[in-house]
Amino acid sequence: MRAEASVLSYPILLLHPALMVLNKPAGLPVHSGPGGKPSLEAWLPGLQMGKRHLPQPAHRLDTDTAGCLVLGRTKPALAALGALFAAGAVAKTYWAVTRGGPAGESGEVSLPLLKHSTKAAGWRMIPDPAGQSAVTGWRVLGRGDGLCWLEFTPRTGRTHQLRVHAAAALGGAILGDPVYGKAGGGLHLLARRIGFDWPDGDSPGGRIEVEAPVPEHMRAAIAACSTRAPPP
**Residues assigned a catalytic role:** 62
Q: Under a CB-based contact definition with an 8 Å cutoff, are residues 68 and 80 in contact? A: no
Helical H segments across the chain, by residue range: 6-9, 75-86, 161-169, 216-224
Task: Name the 3-class secondary structure at 18.
Answer: coil
H-helix or E-strand spanning residue 195:
strand 189-197
* Dihedral sign, Cα of residue 190, residue 195, residue 199, residue 202: positive
Distance CA(227)–CA(91), nearest Å, equals 28
Surface-to-core class of residue 159, CB atoms within 10 Å of its CB (0-12 exposed, 13-18 middle, 19+ buried) = middle
Q: What are phi and psi of 136, to 5 degrees?
A: -135, 120
The CB density around residue 49, as the number of other CB atoms within 10 Å, is 12
Q: What element of type H or E holds 93?
A: strand 91-99
SS3 state at 148: strand
Helix, strand or coil for residue 8? helix
What are the residues facing 87 on neighbouring strands? none
